[in-house]
Amino acid sequence: MSQELYTQLAQAVIDGDEKVAMSLTKEALTRGLNPLEIIKEGLTSGMEVVGEKFSRGEYFLPHLVMAGNTMKASLTWLEPALKTSGMVRETLGTVVMGTVAGDIHEIGKSLVGTMLAANGFVVHDLGVDVPTSKFIETVRETGANLVGLSALLTTTMSVQRTVIEELTEAGLRDQVKVMVGGAPVSPQWAQQIGADGYAEDAAGAVTLARRLVGADG
């Protein structure tokens, strides 16, 4: 019976149906099912399908947003249950991310944060127009192993390089893998500035993040 519930929950995520997902999450908790299993077998399974559909061109940006929001809504019920039970949700890594100084583009960066959080990463989203020093300070405070730098303007791309240089000067570069993205950014630019990888979209960012932390073998 529990597997059937997990399958329905995964489908609710795939459909981006928050109402159904929250109802099923509450039902699963009422039945006394393991909160970690609910996340893994239900929510995460659904997000994996969404990512695959997006990669194949069957799903688009709105589908990703709805699925991410659906998973977040269910997690608002599951996180307290995890704390109460003393369980710890497995995390793949800790990400410090933001749109670099001088750039106020929000949507793409926020979607990447949502998708990473939905796929098992702890995300510290610093917002937009983030000073370089704030990235450095937050990496130091959180012990993050990933940094995500977004730039949507050709005039702010160079700040991605500056952040990487500052991480090196602060002695933190060996601790973190740096991902870059944004409309004018390319794999060639990522290589040129010494980043560890480039992602074109949110689904790609999840795949890249998993690879950089060794979660895919």
Q: Are residues 120 and 52 in the same domain?
A: no
The SS3 of residue 178 is: strand
pLDDT at 146: 98
Q: Are residues 46 and 105 in the same domain?
A: no
Q: Are residues 150 and 62 in the same domain?
A: no
Q: Which two tokens stand for residue 160?
A: 């991605």
Phi-psi group of 16: left, alpha or beta (phi > 0 → left; psi -120 to 50 → alpha; rest → beta)? left
In a domain, 217, yes or no: no
CA 191 to chain CA mean position, Å: 22
pLDDT digits (tens, 9 = 90+) for 80-127: 888 787 777 778 999 999 999 999 988 788 888 888 887 889 999 999
190: CATH: 3.40.50.280
What average pLDDT does the segment 53-73 reach?
Answer: 87
pLDDT digits (tens, 9 = 90+) for 149-176: 999 999 999 999 999 999 999 999 999 9
What percentage of the chain has pLDDT greater than the value 70? 98
Q: Are residues 57 and 78 in the same domain?
A: yes
41: CATH: 1.10.1240.10
Q: Are residues 74 and 103 in the same domain?
A: no
How many domains would you assign to the chain? 2
Q: In Å, how far are 103, 163, 192 from 10, measured between CA atoms?
A: 36, 38, 40
Domain coverage including residue 128: 93-212
213 or 215, higher pLDDT:
213
Q: Are residues 61 and 136 in the same domain?
A: no
What average pLDDT does the segment 60-70 reach?
Answer: 86
